[in-house]
Structure 1
Amino acid sequence: MMPSPTDPTIPAPSAQAPDSAGFRAAMRELAAGVTIITAGRDGGRRGLTATAVCSVSADPPTLLVCINRSAEGHAAIRESGAFCVNVIAAEHQCLAERFAGRDGARGAERFEHGEWRSLATGAPVLADAVAAFDCQVIQAIDAGTHTVFLGAVTATTVSPQRAALLYRAGAFAPAN
């Protein structure tokens, strides 16, 4: 039997929210699949490594991504009205690091590695991604430092034969 929320033996939750450092430390413990979110075309292509991706609905197929407004990919998503979520394999860790900015590459330069193509929206799709979701933006919601983009999925690719890449506590690991 579940205890009542008014039961005096249940400690009351703290009324004070954690500071941003405490929140980030707790979020680092949340293991998540690694994606490269891309937008734009040709020299205007932009991309970033992200784990803040979530299925919203299967009918119609919809997902969301949370993008920091200071990320260079943010403007490309806003301007193009489209993005692609590329779920990457464990062997693509170097691409995850590149699109996270760890090697200093910026802008379209990040796409010099990997084989990139496009589907319905024109956003860059990693040819050998474990899965890719090509999306048209249907709503954008500003929340704190980020924008939550809801995307109607216009096309997908699936190649599940390889282990996806995970991220937790500042480290990458293959999903087994």
Structure 2
Amino acid sequence: MTDSELDVFTGLLDYPMYVVTAAADGERAGCLVGFASQCSIHPVRFMVWLSTANRTYRVARRATHLGVHLLTREQRALARLFGSRTADDDVDKFAQVAWEARQAETPVLRDAPAWFVGRVRERIDGGDHVGFLLDPVEESPPVPGGRPRLLMFDDTRGLEPGHPA
């Protein structure tokens, strides 16, 4: 199968978008991620794929934990902050949002309706992305008012990515 043939298949998909955060050696980083999913029920595990071109990847490869956040469709500005180009990766995105440090100093976004912090169990080379297999160790309280309308891939079309894949 060629890349263009796979593009036909993947072009039909619409999946949740996540903000993934990391902290290591006094550095914080976060980015918008579409490649992520629960990958085991017993034990519960979640896989997040980070682009090797991304600053968040460079911090995450030294981190012991990652934060994974869901956003609502009304939080496109937050998605743009974590998903668009920054000035040579020197912009402190966390200076622009409310957040708190959780396990292993992992930044957690206070405005995210749902989040979890996961311990990095394994890193898997997938090509231009590296998978981080996470064991969830802490999660947000239940979402008040039921299930929110989540930010999906289609909601982010037109967003200028911070880095190529």
TM range (shorter): 0.7 to 0.9
1:143 is matched with 126
Does residue 33 in structure 1 map to residue 8 in structure 2?
Answer: no
After the TM superposition, which residues 48-67 of structure 1 pair with which residues of structure 2 at under 5 Å, given as runs?
48-67=31-50
Q: Tell me, which stretches of 5 or more residues in structure 2 are unaligned?
A: 159-165
Contact 2:24 2:60 in 1 (8 A): no
The separation in 1 between residues aligned to 2:106 and 2:23, in whole angstroms, is 5
Contact 2:24 2:62 in 1 (8 A): no
Does residue 171 in structure 1 map to residue 157 in structure 2?
Answer: yes
Give the letter aligned to residue 153 of structure 2. Y
1:153 is matched with 136
The separation in 1 between residues aligned to 2:87 and 2:72, in whole angstroms, is 22
**CA RMSD, 1 decimal:** 2.4
Max Rg structure: 1
Q: Secondary structure in 1 aligned to 2:119? A: strand
1:96 is matched with 79
Give the letter aligned to residue 73 of structure 1. T
1:84 is matched with 67
Does residue 18 in structure 1 map to residue 5 in structure 2?
Answer: no
Q: Tell me, which stretches of 5 or more residues in structure 1 are unaligned?
A: 1-16
Q: Secondary structure in 1 aligned to 2:105? A: coil
Identity %: 23
TM-score (norm 2): 0.81
Please give the per-residue CA displacement for 1:36-76, whole angstroms capped at 9, x wherever unaligned. 00001695100110111111223322100011111111111
1:117 is matched with 100
Q: Secondary structure in 1 aligned to 2:6? A: helix
**Residues 22 and 104 of structure 1, relative CA distance in 2, 3 Å threshold:** farther
The separation in 2 between residues aligned to 1:92 and 1:18, in whole angstroms, is 35
Contact 2:23 2:104 in 1 (8 A): no
Please give the per-residue CA displacement for 1:16-44, whole angstroms capped at 9, x wherever unaligned. x213x553464243111111000016951
**Residues 30 and 107 of structure 1, relative CA distance in 2, 3 Å threshold:** farther
The separation in 1 between residues aligned to 2:11 and 2:77, in whole angstroms, is 20
Give the length in aligned residue pairs: 155
TM-score (norm 1): 0.76
Contact 1:84 1:134 in 2 (8 A): yes
The separation in 1 between residues aligned to 2:91 and 2:117, in whole angstroms, is 19
Q: After alignment, is 116-125 or 159-168 more displaced?
A: 159-168
The separation in 2 between residues aligned to 1:159 and 1:64, in whole angstroms, is 22
